[in-house]
Structure 1
Amino acid sequence: MQRIFAADIGGTNCRFASFSLVEGCLNLERVVWIKSAGLLDTDMVLTALERELETPLRAADALVLALAGPVQGGLRGKLTNGALRVDFTGLERRYGVARYRVINDFIAEAYGCLTEIGEQARCVVSPAEQAEIPATAGRGVLGAGTGLGTASLVHDGRGGWLPVPAEGGHVSFPFAGDEENDFHNFLCRELGYPFARGDDVLTGKGLSLLHRYLSGEDLEAREVGARALSRDTPTLRWYSRFYARACRNWILTTLCRRGLWIAGGIASRNPLSVTSDYFLEELYTTPHFAALVRSVPVYLIENKNSGLWGAAQAGLELLRREAH
């Protein structure tokens, strides 16, 4: 029986999992969460993985680590919101693992759409315009948590899928109207930036700043979610509108006609932010290509281990390529 070890490391949480392959399908055996703080290098991560999974690394047929930050060459990467740096160069010699890869966390989320997690995701926006969508149409992924991540999947023409990385969270965010531009000026003053990115607007940091701007209350993101995203408040109205605008822009950027999957902790913990009427109204507000946007279903990934499933799917792809 083949086994895949997966890790999904964000700015706040680090997740480890062991998967077995049963008739070619992923089967989750064990999953453990720890805090990312204190993990500074490759050896610290791999030592923690062996300890938490209670299994030596050499027992894995493949190891894939998903990291919330830039990745180079499938071997090296660093956390955007953290001190961790990883380097898998020479991992076979050091730990006895033959197949391994470092991938961006939203590449993992994209791969996760191909697993049972993607199939189980909650449809929060059904297509307003019914159309024949080919099975090979592209898929998009977007989500906000500690950072804002984006990715997509395109069909390779041979029955497989290619993940396309992106840094959409670091693109300047589009504000509309005087009220929103006043908020933009506030953000720039608070952050010391010449312009605000999606990463500054939709993440936990952005949510806290938005709530402070609208209410005067200085709260952590989780407190804002519990107090202001669970019912109709100005914070919900603004945040839902901003989230929908990011989703609409990503649909148009990637042409993900098969669907857009929303990941990340903020939406999964506060689903009203992507199911409210404010979200739907903004999603469909576009003077161009309205029919395209209306034809795309939007799904909410509620499983908090979706990145682990995606990393395991990436490991499965490694094994499949070797088999062929």
Structure 2
Amino acid sequence: MNFDIKPIFNNNLEAILQNKINTKTKPIGALGTLETIALQIGMIQNTDQPSLKNPTIVVFAGDHGIAEKGEVNPYPQEVTAQMVYNFLNQGAAINVFCKQNNIDLKIVDAGVNHDFGVTPGLIDAKIDFGTKNYQDKPAMNAEQCSLAIQKGADIVIDTHATGCNSIGFGEMGIGNTSSASLLMSYFTEIPVTECVGSGTGLDTSAIKIKQQILSKVYQEYTPSSPLEALAAFGGFEIAMIVGAILKSAELKMTIMIDGFIVTAAFLAAYDIHPEVLDYCIFTHTSGEQGHKKMLEFLQKEPILNLDMRLGEGTGAAVAYPIIKSAVAFLNNMASFESAGVSGNE
């Protein structure tokens, strides 16, 4: 847990960046959120000429013990492994959007209940063959939780070494919306029933059952720290994303936060190191009903609202061209002075 994350606070640079933005050939504020993003990335990189290098999305996959019973998930657990193969075979939505936007994609086995053996293209970071069922016992022990966080951090170190300075995270794991709902309730203090949504497609009656099951689970545990909450309710993929977010912030990378599951991981990272918020861009509002409440809790406005709830990092991949546009206008758009255009007096 030794992450050294510095707040992005530099009054002089902020003033320089804001002046550069304001003196472009446009009315002040006319590019809206693009201006906010440009300022943030400049502050993260400590320069008035930021750049996005080797953008990468890392998808972490893991299984959840509660999914074995099928009470909270309409899809069987084996879909997790099947989707990992789909990622590796370039067949998923995240593959399409990463290819479209020239984003590197890494797939990680964080703890899938399947033996992949030596599979080309798959990063083996498996902690175990899925977590335990938290209806009976904590999802993982403290050692497994800490190891998952460290492995997530290590994967970011390797990614950063390729020259990457902008990174997003995705996930795959049948049952992980249940885990995210429990973590959301712990970190926001919003009742579990208000955190639970349809996941991969539950109908109204099934959502009520899911709410009842998870409310009962929540009452069985009294975590006293973010690590204890992760161990009780988390998935290996979620814990790895926590470590990945924290290490990315330490390395001063621009972090693209995806939807409901990744934001649940972010809540844990934020509770550990609040400074991590400075480095994160929230790319979209998920169609999963708890995600909007998470963003309201964090007082953050996302870039997009397309009713997406797929996960996989797809929101981050779709939003990346907008982030790229923010950097492009900051670096390439003429100023009133350079263009010989009369500005506001």
Structure of higher RCO (CA pairs closer than 8 Å, 6+ residues apart) = 2
Q: TM > 0.5 between the two?
A: no
What's the TM-score once normalised by structure 2's chain length? 0.30
Q: Which has the higher helix share?
A: 2
What's the TM-score once normalised by structure 1's chain length? 0.32
